[in-house]
Amino acid sequence: MSNHRAASRYAKSILELALEQKKLKEVHADFQKLTEVAESNYEFGVILKNPIINSDKKQAILKSLFEKDAQKLTMSFFDIISRKNREDILLDVAREFEIQYNIHSSIQVADLTTTFPIDEKLRKEFVDVVKSISGLKEVKLVEKVDPEIIGGFILRVNDRLLDDSISSKLRELRNQFSTNHFEKSI
């Protein structure tokens, strides 16, 4: 079974258990913390994926990092993952859990790239556009500032891309000028 499929199944299982025990928000916070730790500490992710390090050590690391603050359900899940020697997919499970949590909570995640930090008025306009595209109630904008796009914006919602950046318009113009429509090609 591929890691993606296994991670998706584990994420679905923990989501359903959290719903059943009415601990969804708390378990979601635990998985967000796991993702934050992995993003801020490269070695943590390497340790989880390293087959040479035994599961007991990985489990001890997880306990030391999360036992104080994490839910009992989350710690039990980490224990099960460790007993099955599947710590290598734990970060994939966290990503899948986030996706399934957003679907369950009717949250649309959209990536917005601009050349400057946007204000509340612009943010509301982008949120309204994303709501009309997705049809979902809540929108979470992931904002990035990239001066390379020169001006305008790039908005990605699922598999839709709205690219209204100056750099893309310049690229289109360069492509149009590269072909001379008036010169007969031999």
Show me where the domains of the chain are located: 3-103, 106-178
**Which pLDDT score is estimated for 119?**
95
Checking if the pLDDT of 129 tops 70, the result is: yes
Compute the CA torsion angle 124, 128, 133, 139 (nearest 10 deg).
60
CATH ID of 3-103, from 1.10.287.130, 3.30.70.3270, 2.60.40.10, 1.10.520.20: 1.10.520.20
The size of the chain, in residues, is 186
Give dist(CA 98, CA 15) in Å, integer: 10
Residue 175 pLDDT grade (very low, low, confident, very high; cuts 50, 70, 90): confident
Query: pLDDT tens across 40-57, in order?
Result: 999 999 999 999 999 999
**Which pLDDT score is estimated for 178?**
80
